[in-house]
Structure 1
Amino acid sequence: MAKPSSREMALARQARLAGLVMAVTIVAWVVLGWMGREFGWDPRYAFLIDFSALAAFVWALIVTFRVWRQGKADK
């Protein structure tokens, strides 16, 4: 088996980072939503949490799409 190139390693690192961001975002979104309901936070904080999670998901989607496109271009 051939050793992966530095470009392939960089793409793999970016993909792992996007996956980590998605996983942390899901957990944080659920926990902060629960805390907001439990402690009676102002609804504007719920919107802030939701929009922050949405921004993280969009960023991860863009990074994943770029990794996919670059991986296809290399082949």
Structure 2
Amino acid sequence: MKKPQPEPQNMAREGRIVALVIAGTMLLWLAVQALGAKLGWEARYAFLADLAAIAGFIWALVVTWRIWQRQKAQRGD
């Protein structure tokens, strides 16, 4: 059995991290929105949660794009 090459392992690991960040960001954002509505928090806290979620999604998008570009470079596209 061949040992997997380090680069595909790194890309797979980064892909899993991106998936976890996307799922975690969404769950935390939903929880903060529900908790804020239940406890009557001010709107500025909802906007703060929105900005944090947007930052998490942008980070995930950038990392996903970098993974895609490395895969393209390896294939020679």
The alignment's TM-score, normalised by the length of structure 1, stands at 0.93
Q: Which runs of 4+ in 1 moved over 6 A?
A: none
CA distance, structure 1, for counterparts of residue 13 and residue 29 of structure 2: 24
Matching residue of 1:19: 19
Number of equivalent positions: 75
The Cα shift of 1:43 comes to 0.9
The Cα shift of 1:2 comes to 4.7
Per the alignment, in what secondary structure is the counterpart of residue 4 of structure 2? coil
The CA RMSD measured in Å over matched residues stands at 1.1
CA distance, structure 1, for counterparts of residue 60 and residue 48 of structure 2: 18
Question: What percent identity do the matched residue pairs reach?
Answer: 43
Q: What stretches of structure 1 of length at least 5 have no aligned partner?
A: none
The Cα shift of 1:71 comes to 1.0
CA distance, structure 2, for counterparts of residue 55 and residue 74 of structure 1: 29
CA distance, structure 2, for counterparts of residue 2 and residue 37 of structure 1: 54
Matches within 5 A, 1:41-56: 41-56=41-56
Matching residue of 1:6: 6
CA distance, structure 2, for counterparts of residue 2 and residue 60 of structure 1: 31
Per the alignment, in what secondary structure is the counterpart of residue 27 of structure 1? helix
